[in-house]
Amino acid sequence: MRRYYFLDFLFLLLLLPCSSLAQPSPDNGLLWEDEQYGESPMMAYYALSDRGGDIPAIKDFKAFCPTPQDQGNTASCVGYALAHGLTIARSIQKKWRGRTNIDAHAHSASFIYNQIKLDEDCESGAYLTAGLRLLQQQGDCLISDFKNT
């Protein structure tokens, strides 16, 4: 009879890790599809000698970055990545410095995400290629015009 108690105890121990795996985990907002990625146009490759020499090992863009934001419980990381990438590129192009100035011209992550998410709720992810296509065809607006939620 003792043997059965031991087996029951062992069975319960084996179930504990499984129950921890069943806990809800934060969603990943980036949806990946190899076919879409493979069909995306790629930038032409240039040898270093064609571009005028060596590329520095480290380049710090922190001075051009907007204030980091929290996406909360939404799966909107694709929108944030694209909006902040646009903001950084524009800040470099315009030679803007200082968080206050850059934040005033920051792009809206929610504007992008709300148009490319797969479902009506904010728990569904989005494809990076869909976001890039949206930006190419339609563009983005500033966070001052469309607040991030």
Whole-number pLDDT of residue 110: 93
Structural domains in the chain? 29-39+62-149 (3.90.70.10)
Instruction: Look over the chain and give the mean of its residue pLDDT values, rounded to a whole number.
Output: 79
For residue 48, give Cα distances in angstroms to 42, 58, 60, 106: 18, 16, 20, 32
Residue 17 has pLDDT above 60, yes or no: no
Which residues in 102-113 are b (16+ Cβ under 10 Å) and which e?
beeebbbbbbbb
Across residues 67-82, what is the average pLDDT?
90
Residue 71 has pLDDT above 90, yes or no: no
Handedness of CA 67, 69, 75, 79 (dihedral sign): negative
50 vs 27, more confident: 50
